[in-house]
Chain A
Amino acid sequence: SQQGEEDPQALSIQEGENATMNCSYKTSINNLQWYRQNSGRGLVHLILIRSNEREKHSGRLRVTLDTSKKSSSLLITASRAADTASYFCATGNDYKLSFGAGTTVTVRA
């Protein structure tokens, strides 16, 4: 079974709007990562947040982590058409990453 589970499964927004997606995980973590995947291509690392951090920013991305609730959220502000992709959270241990099922984001022009 997968460690992380994203919510919602799919999200459709207008260009310029914000997109928020959530991730829940099951076991204790050292860090949590978010990746983006454009259709049928490889994954691109977006951001890593450590278990002792509560919030992290990178450009238009904001990630929060609540270890007490075993959850994280990814916020994309002022979305663009190029943000259309699938987004995955991942937790790692034992030299591997466990990915959630992903949130598919569609940004409409």
Chain B
Amino acid sequence: KAGVTQTPRYLIKTRGQQVTLSCSPISGHRSVSWYQQTPGQGLQFLFEYFSETQRNKGNFPGRFSGRQFSNSRSEMNVSTLELGDSALYLCASSFGAGGITGTGELFFGEGSRLTVL
């Protein structure tokens, strides 16, 4: 069974540009989550989608957005890039059985490393 696939793996952008990152979850998984990892802030939750619906969103500005398609694939977009957006962006998938009171095991992709110059 293929794992979580993220594309592109590496990308370099300049300030003010926008970027779209893609994530293909494990077959059968309907939940996709996104996390940002930086040396200073660690792992921060961005958003989670289940069956094309965003169920939760982290504390990030509106420049960060995402969506999920009917085949469970997901994309996240960052507009008007800032230097501080340089990070490893991790996508994770799960069956989505988690809820308000608990979240189960997540399966992570290798990440997309974004560098903003």
Looking at B4, B43, B109, which has the most chain A CB atoms within 10 Å of its CB? B43
Q: Count chain A residues whose beta carbon lies closer than 8 angstroms to a beta carbon of B.
A: 25
**Cβ-defined contact, A92 with B110, below 8 A:** no
Q: How many A-B residue pairs have CB under 8 A?
A: 71
A residues whose Cβ falls under 8 Å from a Cβ of B: 2, 29-31, 33, 35, 40-45, 48, 88, 92-102
Q: Specify which chain B residues have a CB less than 8 angstroms from the CB of A45 in the assembled complex.
A: 105-107
Q: Which single residue of chain B is at the shortest CB-CB distance from A92?
A: B103
Q: How large is the interface on B (under 10, 10 to 19, 20 to 34, 35 or more residues)?
A: 20 to 34
Q: Specify which chain A residues have a CB less than 8 angstroms from the CB of B110 in the assembled complex.
A: 41-42
Shortest Cβ distance from B66 into chain A, in angstroms? Answer: 13
B residues whose Cβ falls under 8 Å from a Cβ of A: 4, 31, 33, 35, 42-43, 45, 48, 50, 55-56, 58, 88, 90, 92, 98-111, 113
